[in-house]
Amino acid sequence: MRDRHVVRGLLALPAVGGLGALLAWGFSGLPPFGDFHGFYGQLLNAIVLPQRHTTNVVTAIVFDYRGFDTMGEEFILFAAVVGVVILLRENNAGMTRAAQADFVRSDAIRFFGVPILGLVVLVGLWLAAFGLVTPGGGFQGGVAIASGIVVLYLTVGYRHWHRLGDERRLDPFEGIGAGAYVAVGIAALIAGAPFLHNLLGPGTPGTLFSGGSMSILNWAVAIEVAAANLVLYTEFLQRLVAPKELER
């Protein structure tokens, strides 16, 4: 046993040393703290508010200047969730006895759980809605909404979660979220502009009506991300709570 540790250590030594040397070399060449060389970043900081009328530059980059990249990222998530669903899919989708018995007995947790659920979902909606004005956006909002809903499982129990965490109900939202993004892009093409061109005009800065087409893309991503996360949780919790039926 000890010999194996020694051999492993000896084998790791050159790799760790080499990696450490590379890291040290890389870090020694970094610009000083706070000295930002990215010209593109400085340019965007200067032009986003006059051009796109959004006060959150990050969201403008994600949904407008780099909107095509975000579409790719959205479909990465979509494909990943489809992969998980295919891998974990089971034929018997009904609730098992083990799952039915899985509920929270503590009154305190149930009592505080429901307000927490509401609060987290509200924060998620707020993050998504004001993504073009203040920090946040569709992705963060979507994950927060899904996290809020999963509190239902954590504080009330699987049976109540099962009603919401039903894949047949969630899949349409995922599809709509992913599809709406592409639809906005194609609408711009039909209007004779480049793909994902901001058709709806810039709007008023600092309000919910800033950003034009970006707000549609933002909500599309929020819906897609929330649904994708919920599908993931549904699949994992199903495998977690109802394991006995699966082993057959």
Partner 1 sequence: MIATIAPIQATALVLVALGATAVALCTNPLRQIILSGVYGFVLAILFVTLQAPDVALSMLVVSTVAFPLIVLAAITRSRQRTRRRRE
Where along the sequence are the contacts to partner 1 (CB under 8 A)?
32-36, 56, 58-59, 127, 135-137, 139-140, 143-144, 146-147, 150, 229, 232-233, 236-237, 239-240, 243, 247
Tally of CB atoms within 10 A around 5: 9
Which residues in 183-211 are b (16+ Cβ under 10 Å) and which e? ebbebbeeeeeeebbbeeebbebeeeebb
Least distance in angstroms from the C-beta of 66 to partner 1: 13
> In this complex, which beta carbon is closest to partner 1, that of residue 25 or of residue 36?
36
CA 72 – CA 78 distance, rounded (Å):
10
Least distance in angstroms from the C-beta of 41 to partner 1: 12
> In this complex, which beta carbon is closest to partner 1, that of residue 61 or of residue 220?
61
> In this complex, which beta carbon is closest to partner 1, that of residue 80 or of residue 183?
80
> In this complex, which beta carbon is closest to partner 1, that of residue 120 or of residue 196?
120
Own/partner pairs, 122-127, CB within 8 angstroms, 24+ separation:
122/148, 123/148, 124/148, 124/222, 124/226
Least distance in angstroms from the C-beta of 236 to partner 1: 4
> In this complex, which beta carbon is closest to partner 1, that of residue 154 or of residue 176?
154
Least distance in angstroms from the C-beta of 147 to partner 1: 4
CA 60 – CA 16 distance, rounded (Å):
41
Residue 88: both structure tokens together: 């974990």
Name every residue whose Cβ is closer than 8 Å to that of residue 152 and which is 6 or more positions away in sequence: 113, 117, 160, 161, 164
Least distance in angstroms from the C-beta of 136 to partner 1: 6
